[in-house]
Amino acid sequence: MIVREANPIRLTHVLRVMRRLLWPALACALLAGCSADPLCTLIGTPVGVSVQVKGPLAGRAATASMEVCWDGACKPAHVELMPSTRPGKESCSGDTCSVTAVPDGGKHGFGDVPGLPDRPVRVRLRLLDADEAPILDRRLDVTPRLRYPNGPECGAGGPNAVLTVDGAGLVTSS
């Protein structure tokens, strides 16, 4: 077996080179974690007004119509009301669990309103029964809000508003 002694001059040179490379490598590693542009998906936000109708009024409402006005002009929006649900009983089999949707007695829908601004608008909401007879007719001022589906760093997806009609016909916005 042959044992070689380390060359002190060569070892010093290697350490000097490694020390010179360490700082640029460390700076690159730190900068790699910094990114000026956030990762944003192409998820959009529907522009318009959402309607939620609670029971028992929901049981009589078949459709909803809206008229949304701003800057002296009005736009109509038809809303198809669908049954609302809540989470039902959870069931598990092994390592898999599921929950069924259970009707909650309410209805919900959405009316597209192209060009809806994120400032106060006047909304006329009408709930109609199966024969298209009005069962509720309300006017209220609403301020649609910009929504940020990817967070504020990715920009707004568009304005919308939510109208909630309680069982007695009181309409609130959020």
Superfamily of domain 48-88+98-173: Domain of unknown function DUF4458 (2.60.40.3540)
pLDDT at 38: 72
Q: Give whole-number Cα distances, 87 to 90, 96, 107, 154, in Å.
A: 8, 17, 15, 31
Rounded CA separation 160/112 (Å): 9
C-alpha count within 13 angstroms, C-beta hemisphere, residue 88: 11
Rounded CA separation 32/152 (Å): 23
Helix (H) or strand (E) holding 10: helix 8-32
What is the Cα 7 distance to its own chain's centre? 66
Strand pairing partners for 108? 52, 82
What pTM was estimated for this model as a whole?
Answer: 0.73
pLDDT at 37: 72
Contacts of 81 (CB under 8 A, 6+ apart): 51, 53, 58, 61, 62, 63, 64, 107, 108, 109
Q: Is 116 helix (H, G, I), strand (E, B) or coil?
A: coil
pLDDT at 107: 98
pLDDT at 42: 82
Q: Are 122 and 139 in contact (CB under 8 A)?
A: yes
pLDDT at 15: 54
Rounded CA separation 84/162 (Å): 15
Rounded CA separation 68/60 (Å): 23
Residue 91 phi/psi, 5-degree rounding, is -130, 145
Peptide bond into 56 cis (omega under 30): yes
pLDDT tens by residue, the chain, 174 residues: 565 555 555 656 555 655 665 566 555 555 555 556 778 888 889 999 999 999 999 999 999 999 999 999 999 999 999 999 999 999 999 999 999 999 999 999 999 999 999 999 999 999 999 999 999 999 999 999 999 998 889 988 899 999 999 999 999 998
Q: What are the sequence ranges of the domains in the chain?
A: 48-88+98-173
Rounded CA separation 140/143 (Å): 10
